[in-house]
Amino acid sequence: GESVGLHLPTLSVQEGDNSIINCAYSNSASDYFIWYKQESGKGPQFIIDIRSNMDKRQGQRVTVLLNKTVKHLSLQIAATQPGDSAVYFCAENIEGNDMRFGAGTRLTVKP
Amino acid sequence: DAGVTQSPTHLIKTRGQQVTLRCSPISGHKSVSWYQQVLGQGPQFIFQYYEKEERGRGNFPDRFSARQFPNYSSELNVNALLLGDSALYLCASSRFQNTEAFFGQGTRLTVV
């Protein structure tokens, strides 16, 4: 499959370490946020979401933090595995209309 | 359960032609959205349909149109294709608006 995001910000971590991927969103009216993982040649895969009335949400090995004051979102992946290597996108949603995606971050996990 | 399915997976068209892309949402999902993803960028919103009505439109020319059918499947049409329309076209479905959206594998459109 082809590569997505040839000139993206990159993050390289050692297998087993924790990863933190950051995202700045643009609209203070955004009320719903989603993190997606996209592997080469595939569509984005839903990871975790959070609504604006929360500041933290945890899933399996992943945690999303939302700081509305500075319009910042982060995705924390615990015990990163080689299978986590992909491009990660944050998306913001305004009142259920459209999702606006960030530029993406390429995560590379070194064995 | 089947996920979001898109057809065709790959397509090659000539400039000036028209193309129709198809999407079947997850069973029970009433909202379908279309996105364009060019190489190196995040998906860009084109349309959202909910309950067969257009609920949102991105910054795309009128050459782009879509519709949603009574069974909630959807088609995206692009007329008068340009080279710059070459991209991965993604369909996402969600149960309602503003709920978690799941993407299909996309249709890779190449315009030559």
pLDDT value at residue A7: 56
Percentages helix, strand, coil for chain A (3-state, rounded to 5) are 5, 50, 45
**Mutate which: A97, A100, A106, vs B, most B CBs within 10 A:** A97
Residue B108's closest chain A neighbor by CA?
A: A41
Closest CA to A48 of A11, A13, A21: A21
With the C-alpha atoms ordered B35, B38, B43, B44, is the resulting torsion angle positive or negative?
A: negative
Task: Scan residues 39-98 of A and list those with Cβ closer than 8 Å to B.
Answer: 42-46, 49, 89, 91, 93, 95-98
| Each residue's pLDDT tens digit, B1-25 | 579 999 999 999 999 999 999 999 9
Q: Round to whole Å and give the CA distance between B49 and B32.
A: 5
- Per residue in A42-86, pLDDT (tens digit) is 999 999 999 999 999 999 999 999 999 999 999 999 999 999 999
Q: What distance in Å separates residue B40's CA from the closest CA in chain A?
A: 3
pLDDT digits (tens, 9 = 90+) for A5-48: 345 789 999 999 999 999 998 888 888 999 999 999 899 999 99
pLDDT for A96 equals 64
The answer, for A35 touching chain B at a CB cutoff of 8 Å, is: no
Please tell me whether residue B109 adopts helix, strand or coil conformation.
strand
